[in-house]
Amino acid sequence: MSSITPSIQFFAGVFEDLSNVSLRREVRTGKQIVLMIFNKLQALEGFNSFTKPSLNSLSLTDEEGEINVTPASTRFIFGGDEGDELMRVECKLEIEQDEHWDRFMRFMYRYAEANGMEYGEK
């Protein structure tokens, strides 16, 4: 396998920087829940989303290949004095199958290592 820097994209060619991620399991259904937090989106900087083709999903790429997943929800959190400053974007993923969870975790370990992130318990 070749060494590819792990990346996250909402739009083709527009690479996003993940600020934080939260992993949990929904008790009632057993679904694995991933909350990816972006403090800013490159797709919104300079209106990149209008100049690039949409992936219609979140694309996670690493040396194993590409994972395309449609978020269960995406929330834009605003704040600031006028309430119009983008504070962060929260992207929620739901993963039901264990092999998909395992693949996602391999991606996250690679992404974390490449971007100086660390795993920590609350």
Residue pLDDT, tens place only, 43-89: 877 665 566 655 568 999 999 999 999 999 989 899 989 888 889 99
Residue pLDDT, tens place only, 14-33: 899 999 999 999 999 889 99
C-alpha of 11 from chain center: 12
Q: Is residue 2 part of a domain?
A: no
Q: Is residue 94 part of a domain?
A: yes
Q: Is residue 1 part of a domain?
A: no
Domain that holds residue 107: 7-114
Q: Is residue 44 part of a domain?
A: yes
- How many domains does the structure of the chain reveal? 1
Q: Give the separation between CA 31 and CA 78, rounded to whole angstroms.
A: 28
Q: Are 32 and 22 in contact (CB under 8 A)?
A: no
Residue 67 sits in a domain whose CATH number is 2.40.30.220
Q: Using CA of residue 105, residue 102, residue 14, residue 77, what is the dihedral sign?
A: negative
